């Protein structure tokens, strides 16, 4: 099987973020592999390992697909060191400020040209948090959508079944190849890259392409930010030490604020 | 006056308060049509519950494909309806299903999309709180039909009774939307407590509970609150993962958030700091969450919470 995993380099989710000219200032913060993509990489590797492996001469390949600046190679190396085979990174000045629609268009073109059977994504990136890219890729390619999976079972003969878990409940869903899967973070425990994996990742290929090489043109974002203002920091209010009546003080506060 | 679509939101066979919230925001833009996606023969009963909020009309699309093919079928029918009726905007609840439906509609109708809006103005400008609620952003769709998902519990709903005109239309669903088949569906297991993201009050427990959520739950029940948990608590297996509040869990913004035994890593704050009032109970006076608390009690949650539970109970009786 040819498996693709969409990964994104994001600002470290522990860092303070700010906006410049309506866009996230990505230069001033540390960049890491999106946490939630690690589960997608892990799941792809597990699927490959369960069905003949992805070592040289194995039955499967796991290819990472990413869109971002040159610097995104750092995050991609991390995913390669977990065990993915290779990567494609789309870098183009025309993609600065790209919205989810433009991003999904670029990723979809790369995916459809790559001849993959399965695409796996995390449920969202920890920066934009839109949670729309897997559904958009599925809609653009006309591939089956198998999203919010807490369990994935692949039949290499050409079908996938998942357990979808959302606030709306639990669904069992299945589809034939090709399909777009997104996985929730409870699906697995991503492996730590081994020393061997880290060394091997240095020699793996990251094919970097611009938009012309991908064969799509840059489109402007279809939504615009008018303004972005930091919200005033919340000031600490009253603090009491419990000396036997802390609970009562809490109730008094609730009553005073008319919350009970 | 222009027409605005909302996708009516249901829990079981009843419209939720989210439906009234969507209608309230949408009515600022134009006359509201609530679109009801229902199984064959089920539309009229569902539509009859869409009776709160400023809703001018209800449009029923019936098809068993919605249950059988999930998100893709819903989105396809809605996208085809949007192409036909050209509404001024489409407002959808910002949950997993709603965001995915919105995502597909945006692609299918070549329209811009904004997710997680906490408010929508008459000129279709959306307000979002980004970076864990630390920054307010106003943005606008500039191409196609604005597709906006609105966070439950953000817009103050107008719950006045309405008696909308009820109409039906054909659900047009193409084969491309029938690729993934749902073989079974189970509604979420519901306790007697409200849903986390719809609750007016949320009481959360963290590492300080040491795995014992009983006092947290009793306090929550006395307040009629939903119960949340920090990542430390869910990772330890003390509380179900579906109750996790934080950057990688649910974002909530209730009227009142009570954090018990949670130190307040930035990851947790990102999921709750837009709450209107925040109360923190923690043994550790240095817990960072005290910095954003309107009221803090430095003390053991196992003595503070039972006393508070009793105190509230006494006030009620």
Domain CATH for A99: 3.40.50.620
B218 plus B280 within the same structural domain: yes
Largest CA distance in chain B: 61
Contact B278/A at CB under 8 A: yes
Token couple for A228: 């972005």
Tell me the Ramachandran region of residue B124: left when phi exceeds 0, alpha when psi lies from -120 to 50, beta otherwise.
Answer: left
Return the CATH number at B266: 3.40.50.1220
- How high is the mean pLDDT of chain B? 94
In this prediction, residue A26 carries a pLDDT of 75
In this prediction, residue B316 carries a pLDDT of 79
CA B91 to chain centre: 13
B142 plus B214 within the same structural domain: no
Of B137, B162, B177, the last residue of a domain is B177
Closest partner CB to A142 (pick from B176, B201, B278): B176
Closest partner CB to B298 (pick from A19, A241, A251): A241
**C-alpha span between B13 and B10 (Å, rounded):** 6
In this prediction, residue A86 carries a pLDDT of 97
Confidence of residue B85 (pLDDT cuts 50, 70, 90): very high
Integer CA distances (angstroms), B288 to A234, B122, B267, B280, B293, in order: 12, 39, 12, 10, 9
Half-sphere exposure of B199 (CA within 13 A, CB side): 26
Q: What are phi and psi of B6, to 5 degrees?
A: -120, 150
Return the CATH number at B24: 3.40.50.620
Q: Are B38 and B65 in contact (CB under 8 A)?
A: no
Residue A15, pLDDT > 90, answer no
Half-sphere exposure of B211 (CA within 13 A, CB side): 4
In a domain, B188, yes or no: no
CA A139 to chain centre: 18
**Mean pLDDT of all residues in A183-206:** 94
In terms of DSSP H, where are the helices of B42-130?
43-47, 65-85, 96-109
**Dihedral (CA of A108, A136, B108, A130) sign:** negative
Token couple for B222: 């006395």
Which residues touch B245 (CB under 8 Å, ≥6 apart)? B196, B202, B204, B228, B229, B230, B251, B252, B268, B271, B272
B11 plus B121 within the same structural domain: yes
Per the structure, how many domains does chain B have?
2
**Mean pLDDT of all residues in A202-227:** 93
**Dihedral (CA of A222, A223, A224, A230) sign:** negative
Residue B10, pLDDT > 80, answer yes
Interface contact flag, A222 B144, Cβ < 8 Å? yes
Half-sphere exposure of B242 (CA within 13 A, CB side): 17
Interface contact flag, B307 A172, Cβ < 8 Å? no
In this prediction, residue A72 carries a pLDDT of 94
By the 10 Å C-beta count (0-12 exposed, 13-18 middle, 19+ buried), A249 is classed as: buried
Confidence of residue B88 (pLDDT cuts 50, 70, 90): very high
Mutate to test the interface with A, among B100, B114, B266 (most CBs of A within 10 A): B100
Confidence of residue A22 (pLDDT cuts 50, 70, 90): confident
Strand partners, B71: none
In this prediction, residue A25 carries a pLDDT of 78
- The rounded percent of chain B whose pLDDT value lies above 70 is 99
**C-alpha span between B171 and B288 (Å, rounded):** 52
Which residues touch A219 (CB under 8 Å, ≥6 apart)? A101, A102, A105
B107 plus B219 within the same structural domain: no
In a domain, B189, yes or no: no
Interface contact flag, A259 B309, Cβ < 8 Å? no
Mutate to test the interface with A, among B108, B125, B131 (most CBs of A within 10 A): B131
In chain B, whose CA is at the least distance from the CA of A133? Answer: B103
**Mean pLDDT of all residues in A62-70:** 96
**Dihedral (CA of B96, B98, B103, B107) sign:** positive
B25 plus B149 within the same structural domain: yes
Integer CA distances (angstroms), A183 to A42, A252, B79, in order: 10, 45, 26
Q: What are phi and psi of B133, to 5 degrees?
A: 85, 5
Locate the DSSP E strands across A16-143: 19-20, 23-24, 31-33, 61-67, 86-90, 118-122
- The rounded percent of chain A whose pLDDT value lies above 90 is 77
Long-range contacts of B220-223 (CB under 8 A, 24+ apart): B220/B193, B221/B192, B221/B193, B222/B309, B222/B312, B222/B313, B223/A260, B223/B256, B223/B258, B223/B312
B83 plus B227 within the same structural domain: no
Domain that holds residue B272: 201-316
In a domain, A19, yes or no: yes
Rounded to a whole number, what is the distance in angstroms from the first to the last CA of chain B?
Answer: 50
Beginning with the edge strand found earlier in the chain, give each strand of the sheet holding B180-186 in spatial order: A206-209, A86-90, A61-67, A2-6, A118-122, A179-183, A144-155, A159-166, A169-176, B180-186
B142 plus B289 within the same structural domain: no
In this prediction, residue A29 carries a pLDDT of 75
Confidence of residue A13 (pLDDT cuts 50, 70, 90): low
Q: What are phi and psi of A50, to 5 degrees?
A: -75, -15
Contact residues, A window 54-113, toward B, CB-based 8 Å cutoff: 99-101, 104
Closest CA to A239 of A257, A253, A255, A258: A253
| Lowest pLDDT segment from A54-58, A152-156, B99-103, B131-135 | B131-135
Per the structure, how many domains does chain A have?
1
Interface contact flag, A169 B188, Cβ < 8 Å? yes
| Lowest pLDDT segment from A122-131, B21-30, B137-146, B184-193 | B184-193
B32 plus B103 within the same structural domain: yes
pTM attached to this predicted model:
0.87
Confidence of residue B267 (pLDDT cuts 50, 70, 90): confident
Residue A18, pLDDT > 80, answer no
d(CA B139, nearest CA chain A) in Å: 4
By the 10 Å C-beta count (0-12 exposed, 13-18 middle, 19+ buried), B175 is classed as: exposed
B75 plus B128 within the same structural domain: yes
In this prediction, residue A154 carries a pLDDT of 98
- A83-119 pLDDT, tens digit per residue, is 999 999 999 999 988 999 999 999 999 999 999 999 9
DSSP string, B115-158: EEEEEE-TT--EEEEETTTTEEEEEEE-SSS-EEEE-TT-S---
In a domain, A196, yes or no: yes
**Mean pLDDT of all residues in B283-297:** 95
In a domain, B186, yes or no: no
Confidence of residue B187 (pLDDT cuts 50, 70, 90): confident
Confidence of residue A14 (pLDDT cuts 50, 70, 90): low
Residue B317, pLDDT > 80, answer no
Of B136, B161, B177, the last residue of a domain is B177
In this prediction, residue B311 carries a pLDDT of 95
B149 plus B280 within the same structural domain: no
In a domain, A236, yes or no: no
Residue A252, pLDDT > 70, answer yes
Contact A17/B at CB under 8 A: yes
* Of B135 and B59, more confident: B59
Apex B282 CA angle, A250 and A16, nearest 5:
110
In a domain, B194, yes or no: no
In this prediction, residue B308 carries a pLDDT of 97
B148 plus B7 within the same structural domain: yes
In a domain, B195, yes or no: no
Domain that holds residue A101: 2-214
- Total Cβ atoms within 10 A of residue B96: 22
In chain B, whose CA is at the least distance from the CA of A240? Answer: B297
In a domain, A231, yes or no: no
**C-alpha span between B132 and A18 (Å, rounded):** 11
Closest partner CB to B104 (pick from A16, A35, A135): A135
Token couple for B308: 């508070």
**Mean pLDDT of all residues in B253-264:** 94
Confidence of residue B179 (pLDDT cuts 50, 70, 90): very high
- B92-132 pLDDT, tens digit per residue, is 999 999 999 999 999 999 999 999 999 999 999 999 988 77
In a domain, A28, yes or no: yes
B135 plus B7 within the same structural domain: yes
Token couple for B18: 């989210």
In this prediction, residue B303 carries a pLDDT of 96
* B147 upstream amide cis, omega within 30 of 0: no
């Amino acid at each position: 099987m040819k498996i693709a995993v969409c990964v994104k380099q994001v600002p470290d989710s522990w860092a303070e973020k700010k906006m410049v000219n309506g866009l996230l200032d990505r230069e001033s913060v540390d960049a890491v592999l999106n946490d939630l993509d690690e589960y997608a990489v892990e799941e792809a590797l597990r699927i490959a390992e369960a069905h003949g492996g992805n070592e040289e001469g194995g039955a499967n390949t796991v290819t990472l697909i990413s869109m971002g600046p040159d610097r995104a190679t750092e995050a991609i190396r991390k995913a390669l060191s977990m065990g993915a085979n290779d990567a494609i990174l789309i870098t183009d000045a025309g993609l600065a400020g790209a919205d989810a629609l433009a991003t999904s268009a670029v990723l979809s073109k790369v995916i459809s040209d790559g001849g993959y059977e399965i695409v796996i994504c995390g449920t969202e990136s920890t920066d934009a948090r839109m949670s729309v890219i897997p559904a958009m890729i599925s809609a653009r390619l006309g591939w089956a959508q198998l999203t919010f999976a807490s369990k994935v079972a692949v039949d290499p003969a050409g079908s996938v079944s998942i357990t979808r878990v959302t606030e709306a409940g639990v669904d069992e869903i299945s589809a034939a190849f090709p399909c777009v899967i997104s996985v929730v973070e409870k699906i697995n425990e991503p492996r730590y890259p081994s020393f061997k994996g880290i060394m091997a990742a240095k020699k793996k290929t990251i094919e970097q392409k611009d938009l012309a090489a991908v064969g799509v043109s840059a489109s402007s974002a279809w939504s615009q930010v008018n303004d972005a203002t930091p919200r005033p920091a919340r000031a600490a209010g009253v603090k009491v030490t419990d000396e036997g009546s802390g609970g009562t003080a809490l109730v008094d506060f609730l009553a005073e604020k008319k919350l009970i | 006056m222009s027409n605005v679509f909302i996708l009516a939101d249901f829990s079981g066979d009843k419209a939720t308060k989210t439906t009234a919230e969507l209608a309230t925001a949408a009515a600022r833009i134009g006359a509201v049509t609530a679109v009801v996606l229902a199984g064959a023969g089920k539309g009229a009963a569902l539509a009859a519950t869409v009776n709160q909020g400023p809703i001018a009309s209800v449009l029923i699309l019936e098809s068993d494909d919605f249950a059988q093919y999930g998100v893709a079928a819903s989105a396809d029918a809605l996208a085809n309806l949007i192409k036909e009726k050209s509404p001024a905007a489409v407002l959808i609840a910002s949950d997993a299903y709603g965001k995915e439906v919105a995502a597909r509609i945006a692609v299918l109708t070549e329209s811009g999309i904004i997710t997680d809006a906490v408010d929508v103005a008459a000129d279709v400008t959306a307000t979002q709180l980004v970076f864990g609620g630390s920054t307010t952003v106003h943005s606008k769709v500039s191409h196609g039909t604005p597709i906006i998902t609105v966070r439950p519990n953000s817009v103050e709903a107008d719950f006045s009774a309405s008696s909308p005109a009820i109409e039906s239309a054909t659900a047009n669903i193409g084969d491309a939307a029938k690729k993934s088949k749902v073989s079974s569906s189970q509604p979420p297991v519901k306790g007697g407590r409200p849903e986390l993201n719809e609750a007016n009050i949320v009481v959360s427990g963290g590492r300080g509970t040491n795995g014992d959520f009983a006092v947290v739950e009793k306090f929550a029940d006395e307040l009629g609150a939903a119960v949340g948990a920090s990542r430390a608590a869910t990772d330890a297996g003390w509380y179900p993962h579906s109750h996790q509040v934080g950057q990688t869990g649910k974002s909530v913004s209730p009227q009142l958030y009570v954090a018990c035994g949670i130190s307040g890593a930035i990851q947790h704050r990102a999921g709750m700091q837009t709450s209107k009032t925040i109360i923190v109970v923690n043994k550790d006076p240095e817990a960072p969450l005290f910095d954003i608390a309107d009221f803090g009690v430095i003390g053991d949650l196992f003595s503070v919470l039972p006393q508070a539970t009793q105190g509230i109970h006494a006030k009620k009786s």
